Amino acid sequence: MSDQEFDVIVIGSGPGGYVCAIRAAQLGLKTACVEKRATLGGTCLNIGCIPSKALLQSSETFHEVSAGLKEHGIIVEDIKLDLARMQARKGEVVTANTKGVEFLFKKNKVTWIKGEAKFTGAKAIDVGGATYSAKNFVIATGSESVPLKGVEVDEKKIVTSTGALELDAVPKHMVIIGGGVIGLELGSVWHRLGAEVTVIEFLEHITPGLDMEISTQFQKILSKQGFKFRLGQKVTGAQVTDAGVTLTVEPAKGGEAETLEADIVLLAIGRYAYTAGLGLEAAGVAVDERGRVKTDAHYATNVPGIYAIGDVIAGPMLAHKAEDEGVALAERLAGQAGHVNYEAIPSVVYTWPEVAAVGKSEEELKKAGVDYKVGKFPFTANGRARAMAATDGFVKILADAKTDRLLGAHIIGPDAGTLIAELATAIEFGASAEDVARICHAHPTLSEAVKEAALAVEGRALHI
């Protein structure tokens, strides 16, 4: 094989692409990964999961010191915010991660082809004038922020998540268009640092897709923290002024328009599959009505030898979903039997408190006509949560009414993102609620609330 021929060429180095490339190389396939960004790691490491979690951590610490320590008898005076340092630290965290992927590529002998890939046919791509061919191509080009008519993003006053991660001053009033995960996480960052935050959401509730009971509780808690919500409303225009932005807002169902002033507007109404400039037409690869690359259950497109994974295909737009697809596909390309269980993919909102879910929501079970039982346990009755002064929220477990098999789990509360792993494991292993209830959970831990919720499925919680 020449230097420009490979067993596998992965296009895009996000969590889907870079993990797929590493796994393929581990399995002995000659692998390259094409990335047009100056650094590896895709949306997740550069402008997504990692920088947002760095700022969430810093702002949570700032808020804890400013407002949460008195309760513990700790008096801290003269607290100041050094936003430039906070942003610099975020940059350091991002660099450590992107360099980490570069190191892993070297270690596993994955060739990084720098530049933008474009299919010139079904068997070759062009990158900066050079042609590369492979037995198998993997499209892992990810996603981009959905634009909104009448709201022109300049990444200064009207920003997407990318601009919202780079602000060099705390806005006085930030208006967020869209009450989804990304908007609420970044809204939390700036709210904790002092911004007034208003969320405008088209639907009558926030966080579409979450179990409704959790979503309602989440909105209550955020409102108590000071978030303002305008539900059932839509933004129809945005005018940048010297002072900031004037938004035109209307009821979603139609009605009288009003204006709203903000100094920063964050547009966060979702993400769409990104395939611009990739030359899918030249390769003959089909996309669906939403522009996502169409694949079968094993990530094969309609063109033999071309596959796709991650945000660019159907399914939840989550880094770990992309990663698992990357591993499963690499294993299949190496002749193994890779597989992803879509029933056991957790999702987490990294606000305070955190929100986490795995499996089905109550609404989904009702719609599917499944007979289910519910077990719930509040963190107000958990000793560790009380000791932490973090009693907002509850654990909710859904189990099959006849077999007791776990169907879904939903947590709003401290460390929900970590607690959900136990329930994802349980669902993966086909466990029943009773299995979880009979596992010995250390005391005093937040995970006891999981055990109690599992006990509550049979109406036999002990501590409430």
Ligand X SMILES: Cc1cc2nc3c(=O)[nH]c(=O)nc-3n(C[C@H](O)[C@H](O)[C@H](O)COP(=O)(O)OP(=O)(O)OC[C@H]3O[C@@H](n4cnc5c(N)ncnc54)[C@H](O)[C@@H]3O)c2cc1C
Residue 415 in contact with ligand X, rule: CB under 6 A: no
Does the footprint of ligand X cover residue 322 (CB under 6 A)?
Answer: yes
Tell me which amino acid residue 79 is: I
Q: Tell me which of 72, 298, 339, 443 is the catalytic residue.
A: 443
- Give the C-alpha separation, 320 to 170, whole Å: 31
The enclosing H or E element of 33 equals strand 31-35
**Residue 387 Cβ, how far from ligand X at the closest point, in Å?**
27
Q: Does 110 bind ligand X (CB under 6 A)?
A: no
Q: Catalytic residue at 173?
A: no
| The one among 9, 11, 197, 356 contacting ligand X by CB under 6 A | 11
Assess contact for 63 and 192: CB atoms under 8 A. Answer: yes
Nearest to 191 by CA among 206, 176, 210, 212: 176
Closest CB to ligand X among residues 42, 244: 42
Q: Based on the shown chain and the rule CB under 6 A, indicate whether residue 311 belongs to the binding site for ligand X.
A: yes
C-alpha distances (whole Å) from 244 to each of 56, 110, 229, 241 are 25, 46, 20, 5
Report the distance separating Cα 376 and Cα 398, nearest Å. Answer: 9
Q: Which is nearer to ligand X, 158 or 319 (CB)?
A: 319
Binding segment toward ligand X, per CB under 6 A, in 62-70, 90-98, 207-215, 312-320: 312-320
The correct pick among 8, 9, 25, 44 for binding ligand X (CB under 6 A) is: 44
Euclidean distance between CA atoms 387 and 25, whole angstroms: 48
Q: Shortest gap between Cβ of 147 and ligand X (angstroms)?
A: 14
**Contact flag: residue 317 with ligand X (CB under 6 A):** yes
405 makes contact with ligand X (CB under 6 A): no
Q: Does 310 bind ligand X (CB under 6 A)?
A: yes
How far is it, in rounded angstroms, from Cα 1 to Cα 111? 14
Of 86, 153, 182, 398, the one binding ligand X (CB under 6 A) is 182
Asked if residues 126 and 118 have their Cβ atoms less than 8 Å apart, the reply is yes
**Are 232 and 199 spatial neighbours (Cβ–Cβ below 8 Å)?**
no
User: What is the β-pairing status of strands 406-413 and 354-359?
Assistant: antiparallel
Q: How far is 246 from 238, CA to CA, in rounded Å?
A: 6
Neighbours of 222 (CB within 10 A): 23
**Candidate list 117, 210, 424, 453; residue touching ligand X; CB under 6 A:** 117
* 188 near ligand X, judged by CB under 6 A: no
The binder of ligand X chosen from 6, 7, 9, 14 (CB under 6 A): 14
Q: CB-wise, 116 or 363, nearer to ligand X?
A: 116
Question: Any idea which residues carry the catalytic annotation?
Answer: 443
Task: List contacts with ligand X (CB under 6 A).
Answer: 11-17, 34-37, 42-44, 48-49, 52, 116-117, 140-143, 161, 182, 274, 277-278, 310-312, 317-320, 322, 350
